[in-house]
Amino acid sequence: MSATDNAQQLVFDTIQNFIDHDSARDAAIAAAPAALPEEVMADIDIVIPDRRTSYRDGLVIQFSFGLVDPDWDITRRPTGGRTLGKALGLFLADRHIPFVKDAYQNIGKNSEIMVRGNFAEFDRLLTWGQTAPTQERQIAFDYTCARIAATARPVLPMPELNRSTLTFARTAELLLGLVEVPSQGAYDQFTTAALLQTLVAEHDASAARVETKNLNASDKSSRAAGDVQILAGSHVLEAFEVTANNWSTKIDGASKTIRDNDLSRLHVIARRPDAERAASIERLKELTEDVAVLDVRQVIEVLAAALTRPQRADALVRLYELLDRYQPDVERVNAYVRKLNEAGLVERGSD
């Protein structure tokens, strides 16, 4: 096996062991403060939770190469570093751990030197690790892997879907039932996003894409024009404000959203009972801007109808991925998986 293969096996086996065995994980976390210099512990505890996740992954990978090859200079990017970085992203995603797709794309793409002055704590850890005793290297590596494993979420796996069952009626019934479950708007936003993503990808993938944001992120903090957007490059083609509340709660801010983001129009997807259709139209006629109000249930029906059965399967998988990645409540993901099973939309024996 190559050094990259050995390093990958070491990283994957260590993290998986800590996921599977709480006692081993807790022991590794408890042992480190007494075994490592105080300043080293302080730096690790800054790197691990930092929003720049690439440095956390880079720390694990650099130390893993140093452990499988004691002669390797861990302040330099290993030849197989990017390969392992990409594999680690997939490994962590499968275990519902925050991840990046390619750590070295962000921190080591164009240089073999990893100590580059961009993150002082990361640089100090690599510099320390290069001359640290093997036992301390191992303890630092185990501690970092244990902390990563501790962030794994107990999310049910996405079951394999039975595409033949995904008629419009059964798909719509599932999704309409889902958005009736209180979720602080998560099911409304991510169901809309998943259906739109699939439709746009099938018909205009080269020219446009659909993006959504974290459930708890404001439009301002995320620099998004809406909860769901259709973009071409950096240009917003369409923006959708999605809420589980009544449509009227979004009207007062609609004009400002259009002006602030230089939009031609804005779509509000909300709860709009049939009895309020005329009232919503009258309210919108008072605005000079082009604003549409659409009932979320009607949007779901139209988008689901526009997709084929294989495309509906893709959309249901996208919905799982969005719920898992962009909102914090594990139970919302697991409830969705249970509803798929209850609706009879999965392959026999899938759970």
DSSP letters of 324-346?
HHH---HHHHHHHHHHHHHTT-B
Let me know if residue 347 belongs to a domain: no
Based on the fold, state whether residues 134 and 186 are members of the same structural domain. no
- Nearest Cα residue to 338 out of 170, 188, 157, 171: 157
Low-confidence ranges of the chain (pLDDT < 50): 350-351
Last residue of a domain, one of 94, 119, 149: 149
CA distance 150 to 29: 10
Let me know if residue 348 belongs to a domain: no
Q: Which helix (H) or strand (E) holds 217?
A: none
Q: Which helix (H) or strand (E) holds 14?
A: helix 3-20
Q: Amino acid letter at 278?
A: A
Let me know if residue 349 belongs to a domain: no
Based on the fold, state whether residues 133 and 26 are members of the same structural domain. yes
Based on the fold, state whether residues 167 and 279 are members of the same structural domain. yes
CA distance 129 to 127: 6
Which two tokens mark 319? 């919905």
Let me know if residue 210 belongs to a domain: yes
Let me know if residue 249 belongs to a domain: yes
What integer pLDDT is reported at residue 349 of this predicted model? 60
Domain count, the chain: 2
Using a 10 angstrom Cβ sphere, with 0-12 exposed, 13-18 middle and 19 or more buried, the burial of residue 303 is buried
Q: What is the dihedral of CA 223, 229, 231, 237, to 10 degrees?
A: -110
Based on the fold, state whether residues 16 and 145 are members of the same structural domain. yes
Query: Are 312 and 171 within 8 A, CB to CB?
Result: yes
Based on the fold, state whether residues 229 and 309 are members of the same structural domain. yes
Based on the fold, state whether residues 117 and 230 are members of the same structural domain. no
Q: How far is CA 53 from CA 47, 56, 60, 119, 244, in A?
A: 8, 5, 11, 12, 32
Let me know if residue 120 belongs to a domain: yes
What integer pLDDT is reported at residue 221 of this predicted model? 65
What integer pLDDT is reported at residue 106 of this predicted model? 84
CA distance 81 to 163: 39
Query: Are 131 and 137 within 8 A, CB to CB?
Result: no
- Helical H segments across 179-250, by residue range: 186-204, 219-222
Based on the fold, state whether residues 308 and 188 are members of the same structural domain. yes
- Nearest Cα residue to 168 out of 321, 300, 341: 300
CA distance 16 to 12: 6
Based on the fold, state whether residues 144 and 263 are members of the same structural domain. no
Say what the pTM is: 0.74
DSSP conformation class of 248:
G
CA distance 318 to 124: 40
Per the structure, the complete domain to which residue 62 belongs is given by 3-149
Task: Mention every residue, 6+ apart, whose C-beta is less than 8 A from residue 131.
Answer: none
Which two tokens mark 317? 């998988």
Which strand ranges, in their side-by-side order, compose the sheet holding 209-212? 209-212, 228-232, 235-246, 266-271, 291-295
Let me know if residue 350 belongs to a domain: no
Based on the fold, state whether residues 143 and 212 are members of the same structural domain. no
Based on the fold, state whether residues 182 and 97 are members of the same structural domain. no
Based on the fold, state whether residues 99 and 244 are members of the same structural domain. no
Last residue of a domain, one of 149, 172, 202: 149
Based on the fold, state whether residues 94 and 182 are members of the same structural domain. no
Let me know if residue 158 belongs to a domain: no
CA distance 201 to 208: 8
